[in-house]
Amino acid sequence: MNHSNLLENLSSDEKKIISLLLKNEYMSKNDISLSTNIKLSRLNYIMEPLEKNKIIVQEKLGQSSGGRKPVLYSVNLHDFYVIGIDVSIMYTQIVFTNLKMEILYEELFTMDNSCTPEKTINKIVEAIKKAHKDLRLDRLNLIGVGVGSVGPLDVENGIIKNPTNFYAPDWLNVPIKDILEEKLGTPVIVENGANAGVVAETLFGIGKDVSNVSYFNCGVGLRTGTISSRNLIRAINDEEEGFGHMVIDIKGKKCRCGNSGCIECYSSINAIIKSFSDEIKMGRTTAINKNINAINYKDICVAAEQKDALSKEILRDAALILGAGLANYVKLLTPDLVILSGPLMIQSKLFYDSCVESTLGRLQPDKRKRVIFNRGGYYGERAMSVGAGAMLIEKYLS
């Protein structure tokens, strides 16, 4: 059952209460009254329809402070669900979550040179319909679908404009919002994937109590989302790869963007594979027993952990340059928490450790002490799909 209008049609006070309960485990009416500045007499009136519609529920009794034990409230985690989708270069991931972004179901498929927009969307719809049947979701209420995608995007109209690096053709001005709404019969929002990742981690994950959070997804591209003073920083055209095209060497390698010496030229998956291949062609040896054209980033990461000298050198060099860029970013935006995620960070602890070491070595002592680094965050490689669902809820409650 589609209940997409349920949250959108709430009053501002009702939305305020739902937002509060989403970000806290359990709260009494006194707690809610103090946090929202809504008097108890009015709060009772506001909360009654929320309970009637089962958006909030009486979860349990709290500790008594001398009188009757207070009733503790929470959002309903059992009757509603959200779908979050992450459309990335290497894979597409679909998650089903409750209203607090706890994952109920997930599915992932690899993106290859056959994954045109049409085929990708059809696979998404098939996965959703299969999950709906397997989980018997007819008894639950769907709030909507959030899509986190590589950019550039037209967020307002839900269009994937002209991303680079997709393995399949035809990814140009794809109206993914309209197509999915027609096929699924529910509202869809489209957001920058890295923005979705930082929103998930800030609202529900490891950055929940942090005001300034930067999220980096390191894979085929270097994707960045940042929360500053609890506000999401949006780039023009909702680009998420601006950091990857920060120039680190004005006389460096030629980048696909037209500049020379961009960080992506040295510290992305494709750059690491190319550097490794170039070294092999020059006569370097490796313990990886595969044809040079078949070696992928996972092979290099695994070999590095097994002390393969060339793999370690390539990863450390890439991490050194990425760390230099991160140091500049930290100096500029002064985040309190930096989450390093994505395939490279998740796959290689060496790459993560070397990157953090490189970054900290370039920071002044005061900034070095202040910033906290984290590998993968709370949600790991699910952050962008979960975050897409979280951004859908936030849109309805804003």
Residues 258 and 256: their CA atoms lie apart, in Å, by: 5
List the one residue out of 347, 378, 59, 55 whose CA is nearest residue 205: 378
In percent, the amount of the chain with pLDDT more than 90 equals: 83
Average pLDDT, integer, range 4-31: 89
Does domain 5-75 match CATH 1.10.10.10? yes
Fold match between domain 80-200+383-397 and domain 208-377: yes
Query: What is residue 143's predicted lDDT score, i.e. its pLDDT?
Result: 93
The least confident of 80-89, 180-189, 282-291, 363-372 is 363-372
Q: Which CATH architecture has domain 80-200+383-397?
A: 2-Layer Sandwich (3.30)
What is the tens place of the pLDDT at every residue in 170-213? 999 999 999 999 999 999 999 999 999 999 999 999 999 899 99
Phi, psi (rounded to 5 degrees) for 197:
-60, -45
DSSP secondary structure string, 82-101?
Answer: EEEEEE-SSEEEEEEE-TT-
pLDDT of 383 strictly over 90: yes
pTM of the model: 0.93
List the one residue out of 255, 251, 213 whose CA is nearest residue 233: 213
Q: Which CATH architecture has domain 208-377?
A: 2-Layer Sandwich (3.30)
List the one residue out of 246, 153, 142 whose CA is nearest residue 193: 153
Average pLDDT, integer, range 273-296: 94
What is the tens place of the pLDDT at every residue in 76-125? 999 999 999 999 999 999 999 999 999 999 999 999 999 999 999 999 99
What is the tens place of the pLDDT at every residue in 337-350? 999 999 999 999 99
Phi, psi (rounded to 5 degrees) for 324:
-65, -45
* Domain residue extents for the chain: 5-75, 80-200+383-397, 208-377
